[in-house]
Amino acid sequence: MSKSNFVFVLDADLNPLTPCSPGVARSLLKSGKASVYRRYPFTLILKKKVDTRPAPITIKLDPGSKTTGIALLQGSKVVFGAELTHRGQTIKASLESRRSLRRGRRNRHTRYRPARFLNRTRPTDWLAPSLQHRVETTMTWVNRFIRLAPVNSIVQELVRFDLQKMENPEISGIEYQQGELAGYEVREYLLNKWDRKCAYCAVENVPLQIEHIQPKAKGGSNRLSNLCLACEKCNLKKGTQDIEQFLAKKPDLLKKIKAQAKRPLKDAAAVNSTRWALYHRLKQTCLSISTGSGGLTKFNRTRLGLAKTHWLDAACVGEVEMLEVLTLKPLKITATGHGTRQMCRTDKFGFPNRYVPRNKFVKGFQTGDIVKAVVTSGKKIGTYVGRVAVRSTGSFNISTANGLIQGIGYKNCVSVHKKDGYNYGF
């Protein structure tokens, strides 16, 4: 069994051919019949046109909030696997930072800026930038694989997360149709949920107060899964302590209360928001599109005895009878973005401390390129592979798997992969 992904092959006219094994790829390179076209994912280009009918390839997707699994199948053979890590949280943090900076600027004594809230109409299919990013990056790689392989169909796990079912697995019937708060105010709901007792001392028939399990002072929310009932004495005694600290001497009670606290559903909501947007974008490829449920994916993976990973989950999406996994090393793809448009860099306090060079390219290299540096003399003797940060002096910094290497001359660097907004690994 090969441990590496199969290699994509293009003919001289850039038409995709059937992916080949790493051994065949080495033979093509040694005999001079092919050259390296792309390093990530590794792709060869033949030096002649080939008249043949390549075996069809199926792309399978397991969309996730943080990581999307991708698998390419030739019949029942898994020939390529990849895990695409999104940067949705980074985008959200950047937008929040921008909002705070703009708010501070508006509150200062500067010139009057008229309100602009009336010219911001959102389309009906609008998604938040952090969610839209998940759709766009997934489509980027689907289109990339379509150019590199003879893809004829796509299978997507169209998970429908049932948020009510996840909060209360026992919910059913009319209660399920109406929702967990139908006919209840929050207080009445909590009284029924906690049996009209104090969650901490179980006292009854006394005035009870709504209490935050995770204190608001320490980031707790107002959602129902973070609320309980407590008597005044326990509420005051707990104060703003963490529940682990407050119930350190009562582990059984702590376990019981935590069992009733619902797990956060932010990731489920993210997948729920983007699943149909991704499905409609996939339909625009004009390929055969089919879907599968999350339960079917888990059933297939368990039946075949495969490990729980994103790319193997993707391989198990949809109707699967048998799978022959021909690779054990999926390509790890991490979205890094394309940098920033800031014209001036700042320190941690927001004050400008350095400028950005006018030219992006220095000696043929650009910040974000993946390079290989071979240093044969001096204090930094060795071979380094990683993302480069260029400087006008020609002395670059390289971010490797083992840390940052500073002061590498451009003459020692050879380009491995041009910047495309992603980082790669295995």
Identify the residue with better confidence: 326 or 261: 326
DSSP E strands in 280-326: the ranges are 288-292, 324-325
Contact in structure between 180 and 168 (CB atoms under 8 Å): yes
Structural domains of the chain, count:
3
Q: Are residues 357 and 226 in the same domain?
A: no
Q: Are residues 314 and 287 in the same domain?
A: yes
Dig out the tokens for 245 from the structure: 């600290």
pLDDT for the residue 408 = 92
Q: Are residues 153 and 295 in the same domain?
A: yes
Identify the residue with better confidence: 25 or 108: 25
Whose tokens are 């093509």? That residue is 28
Identify the residue with better confidence: 298 or 381: 381
> What pLDDT digit, counting tens, does each position of 77-90 carry?
999 999 999 998 89
Predicted confidence (pLDDT) at residue 32 exceeds the cutoff of 90: yes
Identify the residue with better confidence: 169 or 417: 417
Q: Last residue of a domain, which of 318, 335, 352?
A: 335
Predicted confidence (pLDDT) at residue 161 exceeds the cutoff of 60: no
Per-residue pLDDT, averaged over 117-146, amounts to 89
pLDDT for the residue 289 = 94
Mean pLDDT of the chain: 85
pLDDT for the residue 228 = 86
Q: Last residue of a domain, which of 202, 235, 260?
A: 260
Angle (CA) 294-298-301 rounded to 5° is 135
pLDDT for the residue 397 = 93
Q: Are residues 11 and 74 in the same domain?
A: yes
Q: Are residues 52 and 137 in the same domain?
A: yes
Per-residue pLDDT, averaged over 109-113, amounts to 70
Predicted confidence (pLDDT) at residue 140 exceeds the cutoff of 90: yes
Predicted confidence (pLDDT) at residue 312 exceeds the cutoff of 60: yes
> What pLDDT digit, counting tens, does each position of 34-53 carry?
999 999 999 999 999 888 88
Q: How far apart are CA 128 and CA 92, in angstroms?
A: 9
> What pLDDT digit, counting tens, does each position of 51-77 carry?
888 999 999 999 988 999 999 999 999
pLDDT for the residue 8 = 96
User: Where in the sequence is the domain holding 192, given as residue range(s)?
Assistant: 181-260
- Decide: residue 351, CB within 10 A, 0-12 exposed, 13-18 middle, 19+ buried: exposed
Q: Are residues 193 and 281 in the same domain?
A: no
Q: Are residues 151 and 74 in the same domain?
A: yes
386 phi and psi, to 5 degrees? 175, -170
Other CB atoms within a 10 A radius of the CB of residue 120 amount to: 6
Q: Is the dihedral of CA 86, 89, 93, 95 positive or negative?
A: positive
Is 270 inside any structural domain? no
pLDDT for the residue 1 = 42
Q: How far apart are CA 351 and CA 396, in angstroms?
A: 25
Dig out the tokens for 61 from the structure: 């997707």
Predicted confidence (pLDDT) at residue 323 exceeds the cutoff of 60: yes
Predicted confidence (pLDDT) at residue 165 exceeds the cutoff of 60: no
Is 351 inside any structural domain? yes
DSSP letters for 71-92:
EEEETTEEEEEEEEE--HHHHH
Q: Are residues 283 and 156 in the same domain?
A: yes
231 phi and psi, to 5 degrees? -75, 165
Pairing of strands 151-157, 288-292: parallel
User: What CATH number is associated with residue 254?
Assistant: 1.10.30
pLDDT for the residue 306 = 92
Q: Print the SS3 string covering 184-228.
A: CCHHHHHHHHCCCCCCCCCCCCCCEEEEECCCHHHCCCCCHHHEE
Provide CB contacts within 8 A for 44, sequence distance 6+.
7, 8, 9, 10, 20, 25, 28, 29, 34, 35, 36, 37
Q: Are residues 58 and 150 in the same domain?
A: yes
Report for 204-208, 329-333, 399-403: range of highest mean pLDDT = 329-333
pLDDT for the residue 170 = 55
Per-residue pLDDT, averaged over 344-353, amounts to 80
> In angstroms, what is the C-alpha Rg of the chain?
28
Is 301 inside any structural domain? yes
Q: How far apart are CA 319 and CA 169, in angstroms?
A: 26
Q: Are residues 209 and 325 in the same domain?
A: no
Q: Which pLDDT band holds residue 342 (cuts at 50, 70, 90)?
A: confident
Whose tokens are 């059984």? That residue is 252
Is 174 inside any structural domain? no
Identify the residue with better confidence: 211 or 2: 211
Q: How far apart are CA 63 and CA 158, in angstroms?
A: 8
Q: Print the SS3 string covering 2-51.
A: CCCCCEEEECCCCCEEEEECHHHHHHHHHCCCEEEEECCCCEEEECCCCC
Pairing of strands 57-62, 67-74: antiparallel
Q: Are residues 140 and 283 in the same domain?
A: yes
Q: Are residues 154 and 206 in the same domain?
A: no
Least confident of 43-47, 229-233, 267-271, 371-375: 267-271
Per-residue pLDDT, averaged over 274-292, amounts to 92
Q: Tell me the β-bridge partners of 35.
A: 45
Residue 402's Cβ-side half-sphere holds a number of Cα atoms within 13 Å equal to 6
pLDDT for the residue 146 = 96
Q: Print the SS3 string covering 104-156.
A: HHHHCCCCCCCCCHHHCCCCCCCCCHHHHHHHHHHHHHHHHHHHHCCEEEEEE
Q: How far apart are CA 231 and CA 236, in angstroms?
A: 9
pLDDT for the residue 286 = 92
Q: Last residue of a domain, which of 226, 260, 294?
A: 260
Identify the residue with better confidence: 292 or 60: 60
Q: How far apart are CA 409 and CA 39, in angstroms?
A: 23
Q: How far apart are CA 324 and CA 77, in angstroms?
A: 5
pLDDT for the residue 19 = 94
